[in-house]
Amino acid sequence: MRGLLTVSAPAKGRIEFDLDHAWRLHPQVAVRPESFGALLYHFGTRKLSFLKNRTILAVVQSLADHPDVRAALRAAGVEDSQQDPYVHALGVLAGSHMLVPAEEQPA
């Protein structure tokens, strides 16, 4: 499987991405669905990311509706044995502050 995500600039620092916790889109991130997946733009950092299919888009858009990442992946139809590329993509999005822990309040 090809990568699910393209990020315009690498993130500085590393955020620990925990599948057993709830995550959500940062409030300053806009999502624009496209035929290939979606564009994500962070108005605070001015970073642009590309989601390369509609499944990862469904996961990202539903994160706030689920108690943890695993539940969001399963709800989008991603089997446990196929989660690795999705987890990697979500971790990259968290590292670039497109995703934040659900309990985190915006600054």
92 touches 6 (CB < 8 A):
no
Residue 33 is predicted with a pLDDT of 96
* Cα–Cα distance, 84 to 65 (Å, whole number): 21
Architecture of domain 17-98: Alpha-Beta Complex (3.90)
Domain boundaries, the chain: 17-98
* Cα–Cα distance, 18 to 48 (Å, whole number): 23
* Cα–Cα distance, 26 to 47 (Å, whole number): 12
Positions of the chain with pLDDT under 70: 1-15, 104-107
- Please write down the long-range contacts of 29-38, taking CB distance under 8 Å and 24 or more positions apart: 29/98, 31/57, 31/60, 31/61, 33/57, 37/4
Give the dihedral of Cα atoms 11, 17, 21, 25; nearest 10 deg: 20
CB neighbourhood size of 88 (10 A)? 14
What tokens does 68 get? 């943890």
Residue 17 is predicted with a pLDDT of 84
**pLDDT of 35-54, one tens digit each?**
999 999 999 999 999 999 99
CB neighbourhood size of 83 (10 A)? 17
